[in-house]
Chains A and B, each alone.
Chain A
Amino acid sequence: MDISYFIFLSSGLFLGWSLGANDAANVFGTAVGTKMVRFKTAAAIASLFVIIGAVFAGAGASRTLDELGSINTLPGAFMVALSAALAVYMMVNSSIPVSTTQAIVGSIVGWNFYSGHKTDMGILTQIISTWIICPILAGCIAISLYLLIKCFIKRSKIHLIRQDLYTRLGLIAACAFGAFALGANNIANVMGVFVESAPFHPITISRITFNSTQILFFIGGLAISSGIFTYSRKIIKTIGKGVMSMSPMIAWIVVISQSIVLFIFASQGLKTLLTQYNLPSLPLVPVSSSQAVIGAIIGIGIAKGGRGIHWEILGKIALGWITTPLISALICFISLFFLENVFNLVVYH
């Protein structure tokens, strides 16, 4: 296997690491922040399930990105991933709730522009519509869960101490489910552009055969895990003030709402099931966990009567929908020019 593949893959791994650091905080930050689950426990569970989600359920969302733009050379894929990572970095510095999806979509469109490939407007519209649906859906799920649980607690008369135990177990389960959904939904952002050029041969372990894409996604999952262990604690501490004002039960609702949204946009099985029964299904697209979390928090705020909601944050999300892909596309377009003309690398076929 060519060592240069891993050099080019490094930008994707970097993106994976930053995804692990940033987005894992959305999955278990509230559980750790409210002191219900220890960081090490949460990080170990999240790391394991992020890899399982990426390897076994990551293909669906990846296919949609592939339909948007099939990056067919390694240097091209390297620059697409790097541009997305740089755009994410810039957005994080501007305190805008950022999405790696929006960055990678912008980069792919930038690559399409540069290489002269036609951008499928149908797919692009579908992807953009999910950015708007994602926080709204998370908010609706959070409202429903909040009202349901409030009613359940009132009727069931569970002892406070037992409720604490159930919440704790629920947070651990939500952490596992959230990490699985994050791996399944967001691995496409990290490794999707490298699928076309993946050089791996299928491996069979205990009668389970892992194809080239799954091996690639496993490596991406490891990068996400390293982000979880090395940097997510700092992110959780940074957002700690906001998290601390949340009760553990609200924290659970936020995490589970976000996880359900990510799962809906990643599960091929669920999509097939809904289609079988002629029910409307959502496209398999990587969505932003940060924006899903914000949607869920605002949803709970509305359910509580709408007091204390920072509506300006919605403006920031909308700003992110426009600026992140634009910046990412621009960086990608300019960088591809340099890569091709200064370093003489083939960035498209």
Chain B
Amino acid sequence: MFHIKFSMFSRTKSLENKIDLFHDKIIDAAMTFKKAIRVFLAEQRSDEYKKLSKQIKQIEHDADSLRRDIENNLYAQNLIPDLRADVLELVENIDKIINRFDEVAYKFYIERPDFPAEYHMRMIELCEQVSDCAENMAIASRAFFRDFSTVRDFSQKVYFIEHESDLTSGRMKEAIFDSDMPLANKLQLSSLISEVADIADIAEDCVDELLIFTIKRDI
């Protein structure tokens, strides 16, 4: 009996840790991405950038295996039957954000876009905004598991920052298309800016769903 109880508690603890680790991954990915883009703008495809890009890939890989573990445990142990579908959806959504960080970092590596120096500050600002958005999304999601009364506060931050990132990306695109750059360059930079800004959009979509899940979470 005591063994059964102990094993139940240890399994629960282990899953709690995995969920916490999974949330850590999105924060890691966001921070590394921010740093990687700064390095890219300064040094293009340098060894340092390659290292950071690999780091993001590794974070994405670890997040994938954590996601699978969490999903398996939730089903195998028949946990939180009433909220399981919501938690699975949430985990999938977070994973999408991490994947997008990896994809964008890899795209920079492959395409080697030539960002003129006058756009560097705005690009860094945009990357910081999308990273903040993802981080706040992670904090809101973590709060869903432990302290769901604060989910709303962090969600509000995500909405605010996402709007700011929309403005930044819009202003950047306008400036790029007003410049004398060849059209091919303009289109390439515009596409990359959209991809970066999309990360904030995905975080916003996650938060929309998270707020609905939170209403259900309240007893």
Contact = CB atoms under 8 A, between A and B. Distances in A.
B219 A250 contact: yes
A260 interface: no
A249 interface: yes
A274 interface: no
Contact of A34 (B9, B82, B145, B149): B82
Given A146-B219, A157-B147, A250-B219, A165 B12 contact: yes
A159 B219 contact: no
A158 B217 CA distance: 13
A35 interface: yes
Given A154-B149, A165-B12, A160 B83 contact: yes
B167 interface: no
Interface in A159-175: 159-162, 164-165
Contacts of B48: none
A149 interface: yes
Interface residues of B, number: 21
Of listed B79, B83, B147, B219, residue having the most chain A CB within 10 A: B219
B16 A159 contact: yes
A162 B82 contact: no
Contacts of A247: 82, 219
A75 interface: no
Interface string B183-219: 0000000000000000000000000000000000111
Contacts of B21: none
Given A164-B80, A165-B12, A149 B219 contact: yes
B15 interface: yes
Contacts of B8: 165
A221 interface: no
Contacts of A239: none
Contacts of B149: 154
Interface in B122-155: 144-147, 149
B104 interface: no
B81 interface: yes
A249 B148 CA distance: 16
A34 B219 contact: no
Contacts of A157: 146-147
A153 to B, nearest CB: 7
B71 to A, nearest CB: 13
Contact of A161 (B82, B145, B147, B217): B145
A35 B79 CA distance: 9
B78 interface: yes
Contacts of B218: 150
Contacts of A150: 218-219
Given A146-B219, A149-B219, A247-B219, A161 B80 contact: yes
Interface string A175-202: 0000000000000000000000000000
Contacts of B147: 157
Contacts of B82: 34, 247-248
Contacts of A250: 219
B219 A160 contact: no
B31 interface: no
Given A146-B219, A159-B16, A160-B83, 20 more contacts: A36-B81, A150-B218, A157-B146, A157-B147, A158-B146, A159-B145, A159-B146, A160-B144, A160-B145, A161-B15, A161-B16, A161-B79, A161-B145, A164-B80, A165-B8, A165-B9, A165-B12, A247-B82, A248-B81, A248-B82
10 contacts: A149-B219, A154-B149, A159-B145, A159-B146, A161-B16, A161-B19, A161-B80, A161-B145, A162-B12, A164-B12
Q: Which 4 A-B pairs have the closest CB atoms?
A: A35-B81, A249-B219, A157-B147, A160-B145
